[in-house]
Structure 1
Amino acid sequence: MKDTEKGADLTTASKSLPLIIEGKNFDWGKQYITGREVRDLVNASEEVELFLAIKKPWEDELILDEDRVDLARPGIEKFFFKDILLLTINDKKYKWYEQYITGKQLKELAQISLEDVLYLSIKKPWKDELIDNETSVDLARPGIEHFFSKQVDREIMIIVNGKLKSWNKRKISFEEVISLAEGNASSEQKAYTVTYLKGPKQNSEGEMAKGDIVFVTDKMIFNATPTDKS
């Protein structure tokens, strides 16, 4: 008779609940299992993160040590681990789970403009490496890769209340939109509603409130509507 896997602790086979960890079948004697208990079943390293497989197109679920998963739900729950690869972009830490990452993926990860210039930091006296959007970088090399970006300011045209306006920055504030719409600072007797369309991926459309800042792209549309204060 085949031995039950660690963690079964069963009195009868009918009480077992199946689960799969990295393709291997296990039985569990309770309705719920924690992330820590899943790790212990396979002696998983602390350097990897645990995920619960979710049917596409939904994303797999990160399972922390204290999280509980209900094994009594329909179907068999499948768990797997992902190696963590660390990197920094503009001094902020990020995680990645694949060996390679492209310049485009780096920019999307850090939510910076695809038009910005991206570099891989190289130890001096060697020059920093330019990373194009299509360039693939191996993150599995020794050490942590450090990236940094530089904004490229260029003149673009945006549309504010139906009129073309010249703009030379990668971002625009609520107050700057109002200034372009009115030609001067906003009146103290007015409040404003600002909406935008056809923006870049970081903010394709939406509303702005006082103090908000959004990325801009060529031919982006803004509508600033004054509203008398009550």
Structure 2
Amino acid sequence: MNTDVDGQDDQKGRPSLTLIIEGKKFEWFEQFITGKQLKELRGLPLDCKLFLDIVEPWKDDAILNDEVVDLARTGIEQFYIKQKLKYSVDGKNFETDKQYIKGSQIRRQGNIPDDYQIFLDNKQPWEDDLIEDNDIVDLARPGKEKFYSKKEVTEFIIIVNGREKQWCEKTISFKQVVELAFGNFQENPNTVYTVTYAKGPHQNPEGSMVKGDKVFVTNKMVFNVTATNKS
């Protein structure tokens, strides 16, 4: 027997157990309750996904319709419905139960060609995020995530030691930056090159490079290169 008012069960004389379902408090006079009973008690559809709120760092439990929950444990048990997360790809709407999505999944769902890049639309003044196939996006952030695609740009203007240079690759190596700065790269133990960069893409917005390094390029990326002779 159950009720949604405080008090004792007159028939069995047992104290009530308090539980909360989707923000509403109920009293239950049995030690156990099933997922189906929880949904019926709150008037929820039987096909919705119900979860038991668990204290961090443990993950919340999904409660199936025929699963039994012990309400006599310490504290008040709280249950909630996990809402579907909505997002769009090139204007087409999607929804999912999963909190995270990979760039490769977005590409498949949106039928985006390999030579197109995927971006996450951010509010101004923030730049949109480039989403690589292996990147993982959190869909549970406030608001609806919007993804869009555009043909990949492989022609850039980069600035090396204050001079504009044309570059036609997605990445650039330490040696290539030095060659753009000085016309050649000297394999001389007495010559030390220092390379720093700024205004790069999200994979490498700023930093320094050493021999063997390679970084992603974006338009108007800035490189500063110096050569020091140790002799």
Same fold at TM > 0.5: no
TM-score by length of 2: 0.43
TM-score by length of 1: 0.43
